[in-house]
């Protein structure tokens, strides 16, 4: 009975020894691969891309290839540039260190050059690379300072479908730095954002990011004016509120709320005319916690009265409660309290009835 155990133990030891012997040879092979990239071998760049496609371990071990790949990225030969670009893209995916290392190595200048390429495939790959790099908080201010924003908006207007999707996600990443919002606004992003929303699924990730970006941009009057001047602009956001993902709905109601809060008199009817009420009512029940709060606030702003229902209700009930406190010190305090509580219920019911009547008038 002991022989099989001994045999298994010997096999395990032999396997571990073989693996240990293999590690130095693998490390040597990877170093040789990096040397081949330094020598400008296009096939070596393609091998880096292959190895790093789904392996975080290889992304770490091949980080030394970043600088020679950036050098290859500057090559006049399109084949070499494309191979380097795709290898760098894979190296950057889910690896924060490689993201910053790529930017530090000077990759932004040639990548921005590819954004302006007449080769739409290269433009698409460069946009994907910039999207990946823009996920790094360290890279965001460097990318905006490099002039990436106007070129990404240009791709949003003129690129192929995948490049447009990636560009809006990259712009959203950059917009999380508040100082970048004005830079994005300065290149008129609203028309292409609305166009992208119109042409895609309202529940897509692209729609989520479009609405998230719009929610931030609509904090500025320039963006609000641009959206209302765009045919179907507000309606498209309302459609995301109705048909989008939970995240998309949250950003859509946030965008509309930002508009209405900025100038209720100017934007109330604009929003109401697009039939927003049914979607808002549904959101108060089925939305995310943030969506439900925003939907309630926006519904109050869209009422005929400039005063919030919740505020009026709170004031009325507060007065009743105060009266109860003053009057129950004497005799028959229980009867008086019951009477006042009944009045509270009556007021609440009357307000609820008015609330339902207003809802019916919106329909």
CB atoms within 10 A of CB 217: 24
pLDDT at residue 147, rounded to an integer: 97
The pLDDT profile of the chain, 363 residues, written as one tens digit per residue, is 444 444 455 455 555 544 454 466 999 999 999 999 999 999 999 999 999 999 999 999 999 999 999 999 999 899 999 999 999 999 999 999 999 999 999 999 999 999 999 999 999 999 999 999 999 999 999 999 999 999 999 999 999 999 999 999 999 999 999 999 999 999 999 999 999 999 999 999 999 999 999 999 999 999 999 999 999 999 999 999 999 999 999 999 999 999 999 999 999 999 999 999 999 999 999 999 999 999 999 999 998 755 444 443 444 433 433 443 444 445 554 454 445 444 444 444 444 454 445 445 434
Burial of 50 (0-12, 13-18, 19+ CB in 10 A): middle
> What's the rounded Cα separation, in Å, for the pair 320 and 341?
8
Write down the pLDDT at residue 11: 52
Single out the residue of 290, 267, 292 nearest to residue 282, CA to CA.
Answer: 292
What confidence score (pLDDT) does residue 118 get? Answer: 93
Rounded to whole angstroms, how far apart are CA atoms 334 and 116?
Answer: 80
Instruction: Please tell me the predicted confidence (pLDDT) of residue 12.
Output: 52
Residues in CB range of 178: below 8 A, 6 or more apart: none
The secondary structure of residue 67, as a DSSP letter, is H
R_g over Cα of the chain: 30
Q: How far apart are CA 244 and CA 238, in angstroms?
A: 9
d(CA 172, CA 78): 29
Separation of alpha carbons 168 and 177, rounded Å: 15
Q: Residue 76 has what pLDDT?
A: 85
Residues 6 or more apart in contact with residue 336 via CB below 8 angstroms = 324, 327, 328, 330
Q: What is the pLDDT of residues 272-284, one digit of tens each?
A: 999 999 999 999 9
Per-residue DSSP letters for 147-179?
THHHHHHHHHHHS-HHHHHHHHHHHHHHHTSTT
Please give the torsion angle defined by the CA atoms of residues 146, 70, 120 and 51, in that order, rounded to the nearest 10 degrees: -130
Closest CA to 132 of 73, 197, 85, 63: 85
Q: What is the number of H-type helices and E-type strands within the chain?
A: 22, 0
Q: How many CA atoms lie within 13 A of 316 on its CB side?
A: 16
Q: Match 């155990």 to its residue by tokens.
A: 5
- The whole-number pLDDT of residue 303 equals 85
12: how many CB neighbours lie within 10 A of its CB? 10
First to last CA, the chain: 82
pLDDT (tens digit per residue) in 99-113: 999 999 999 999 999
176-208 confidence digits (pLDDT tens): 999 999 999 999 999 999 999 999 999 999 999
**Residue 120, both tokens:** 């739409």
C-beta separation of 281 from 240 below 8 A = no
Q: How many CA atoms lie within 13 A of 251 on its CB side?
A: 25
Instruction: Report how far residue 335's alpha carbon sits from residue 254's, in angstroms, rounded to the nearest whole number.
Output: 47
State the pTM of this model. Answer: 0.79
Beta carbons within 10 angstroms of residue 45's beta carbon: 29
How far is the C-alpha of 20 from the C-alpha of 236, rounded, in Å?
60
Q: Is residue 146 classed as helix, strand or coil in its secondary structure? A: coil
């Amino acid at each position: 009975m002991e022989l099989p155990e001994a045999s298994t133990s010997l096999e395990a030891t032999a396997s571990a020894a073989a693996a240990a012997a293999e590690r130095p040879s693998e490390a040597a092979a990877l170093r040789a691969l990096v040397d081949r990239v330094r020598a400008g071998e296009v096939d070596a760049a393609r091998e880096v891309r292959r190895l790093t496609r789904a392996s975080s371990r290889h992304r770490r071990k091949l980080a030394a290839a970043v600088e020679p790949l950036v050098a290859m990225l500057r090559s006049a030969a399109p084949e070499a540039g494309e191979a380097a670009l795709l290898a760098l893209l894979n190296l950057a995916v889910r690896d924060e260190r490689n993201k910053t290392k790529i930017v530090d190595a000077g990759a932004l200048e040639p990548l921005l050059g590819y954004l302006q390429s007449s080769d739409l495939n290269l433009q698409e790959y460069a946009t994907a690379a910039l999207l990946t790099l823009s996920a790094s908080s360290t890279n965001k201010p460097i990318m905006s300072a490099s002039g990436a924003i106007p070129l990404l908006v240009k791709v949003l207007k003129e690129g192929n479908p995948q490049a447009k999707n990636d560009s809006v996600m990259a712009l959203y990443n950059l917009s999380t730095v508040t100082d970048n919002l004005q830079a994005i606004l300065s290149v008129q992003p609203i028309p292409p954002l609305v166009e992208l929303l119109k042409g895609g699924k309202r529940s897509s990730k692209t729609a989520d990011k479009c609405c998230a970006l719009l929610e931030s941009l609509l904090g500025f009057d320039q963006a609000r004016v641009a959206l209302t001047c765009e045919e179907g602009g507000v309606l498209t956001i309302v459609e995301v509120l109705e048909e989008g993902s939970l995240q998309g709905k949250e950003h859509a109601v946030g965008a509309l709320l930002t508009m209405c809060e900025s100038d209720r008199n100017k934007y109330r009817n604009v929003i109401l005319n697009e039939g927003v009420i049914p979607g808002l009512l549904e959101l108060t029940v089925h939305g995310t916690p943030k969506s439900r709060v925003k939907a309630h606030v926006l519904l109050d702003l869209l009422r005929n009265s400039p005063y919030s229902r919740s505020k009026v209700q709170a004031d009325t009930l507060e007065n009743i409660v105060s009266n109860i406190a003053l009057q129950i010190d004497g005799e028959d305090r229980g009867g008086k309290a019951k009477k006042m509580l009944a009045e509270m219920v009556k007021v609440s019911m009357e307000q609820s009835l008015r609330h339902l009547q207003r809802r019916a008038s919106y329909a």
